[in-house]
Structure 1
């Protein structure tokens, strides 16, 4: 069977809206902890830029964490920015919140003022030349400004290794297929450059001083809230749709059972579904 992989790595982020929003809202405790940590290290930024903001959940959280700051959400997908503006409006921060539709690969040259804090959460890895994009980020920072880069961490876990159906270790195998997909996705980006994912080294290469790395844990044990369970369903559905070609027939059959609302063994009903993940933030500071 021919594998037409090239059709599957082009991402339309607007299609991801429900997942992006659901995930960011659910992961808010983790981002709030990261934002509080940033505030300790960088108490009074005047201008915060969220580079690759998506629907603006974190942008609005940053506006809340830094009540004196202006926040600019930057994203390549206007439908996501529309959601970000609506959220800022709803949360009462619209007077110091704005959005810019732009691709991160093109740099941040559109900023009228340099940023004091630049937050880039899992957006850099969607840019072909990450090193060039980081240099662009560094240029967009004020002297003494901070880049907070959220990349890496650990794959999210939802289920025990042995779930009583299918072959144990399903999630590890899904992750392995996803890693292959991710590698293809990166290779097919415009101007793709293979890069060792040593983020402190890349920050240093961009002319920033790597000052700290910290990992934040998100731990929702079973039994899950309805919101967390809904996210597990959305997440596994997206994996099922995107990675079907890489999984064997038995694993696909197990995944289908896990997603069938009428099956008692599905993630819709199982009592043992949890949500555990960790995300890592790397800080780089621009020399004064």
Structure 2
């Protein structure tokens, strides 16, 4: 039975939690660089309260707590299963006394979050329908001199060579195009969704903030990868296969099925050429 596209744009955060946590853990080298850069922009001794908006399972929440040792860090998310993981992670790392979790829907609940010296929103704003309202809310929450850091854009993850010896060359480029259509539909279905030109510097300025610098950080895990990376990629491709059902040509879907077959010698479990390459861009702005 063919599913309606609307069914595939719904995100089950509880189901995705393990993938999100593993992915963020693999990206820790990238995020450490980004957090260190923020520490140069805002001296850690001056940061007393941080909001991690769209915290997910808390990998960045705890990293921010380690980078800014004088700060209380609040993990903010609308998905209770993800916040449960964030709390458990903070406890495992001995940070439970400095890490809180708050379940909130943005932009509606933004005023309940309290003031902050630093607001980190990592790939979260594109899940909020009214992005301008969210940014205006961030601006109101920032203390004088406070910094907001948005992770949006960069480069889409790549995992395979252009020609993998199966099907037509360029599979990941076609997957990326189909995912872009999925993303557009997902955003259109968000409450209060409004289309915006993704000029983050201009949007931050429109919120009353003073835009600062932007930097991109690279995650580069070349082949051959570890079993942990292979496991993560299998989960990512499974999610991609399900989300893009009906959006890809039949021959590309057949290739994805082969890649996901653990017994196929050309599958992800056995290929020697799989890798993980991505870049994330951090946009900053300050309250005067």
Q: Which residue of 1 aligns with 2:165?
A: 164
Q: Which residue of 1 aligns with 2:23?
A: 23
Q: Tell me the distance in 1 between the aligned counterparts of 2:100 and 2:163.
A: 47
Change (3 A) 1:285 1:170: same
The answer on 1:139 being equivalent to 2:112 is no
Q: Tell me the distance in 2 between the aligned counterparts of 1:61 and 1:156.
A: 22
The answer on 1:273 being equivalent to 2:274 is yes
The answer on 1:12 being equivalent to 2:5 is no
1:111 CA displacement: 2.8
Q: Tell me the distance in 2 between the aligned counterparts of 1:12 and 1:241.
A: 12
Q: Tell me the distance in 2 between the aligned counterparts of 1:137 and 1:237.
A: 35
Structure 1 spans left out of the alignment, 5+ residues: none
Q: Which residue of 2 aligns with 1:66?
A: 68
Q: Secondary structure at the match of 1:246?
A: coil
Whether the aligned pair in 1 keeps the contact of 2:8 and 2:242 (CA below 8 Å) is no
Q: Secondary structure at the match of 1:104?
A: coil
**Any idea what the Cα deviations from partners look like across 1:31-77, whole Å, max 9, x if unmatched?**
11100110011113110110010110100011111111110001111
Q: Which residue of 2 aligns with 1:186?
A: 187
Q: Which residue of 2 aligns with 1:52?
A: 54
1:2 CA displacement: 7.0
**Any idea what the Cα deviations from partners look like across 1:95-145, whole Å, max 9, x if unmatched?**
111011101221421134x10000000111011111111111111111111
Q: Tell me the distance in 1 between the aligned counterparts of 2:219 and 2:206.
A: 31
User: Once superposed, which parts of structure 1, at least 4 consecutive aligned residues long, lie more than 4 Å away?
Assistant: none
TM-score (norm 2): 0.97
1:3 CA displacement: 6.2
Query: Which of 76, 82, 85 is the matching residue for 1:83?
Result: 85
Change (3 A) 1:154 1:84: same
1:230 CA displacement: 1.2
Q: Which residue of 2 aligns with 1:97?
A: 99
Aligned length: 286
Whether the aligned pair in 1 keeps the contact of 2:110 and 2:134 (CA below 8 Å) is no
Q: Give the alignment's Cα RMSD to 1 decimal.
A: 1.1
Whether the aligned pair in 2 keeps the contact of 1:52 and 1:104 (CA below 8 Å) is no
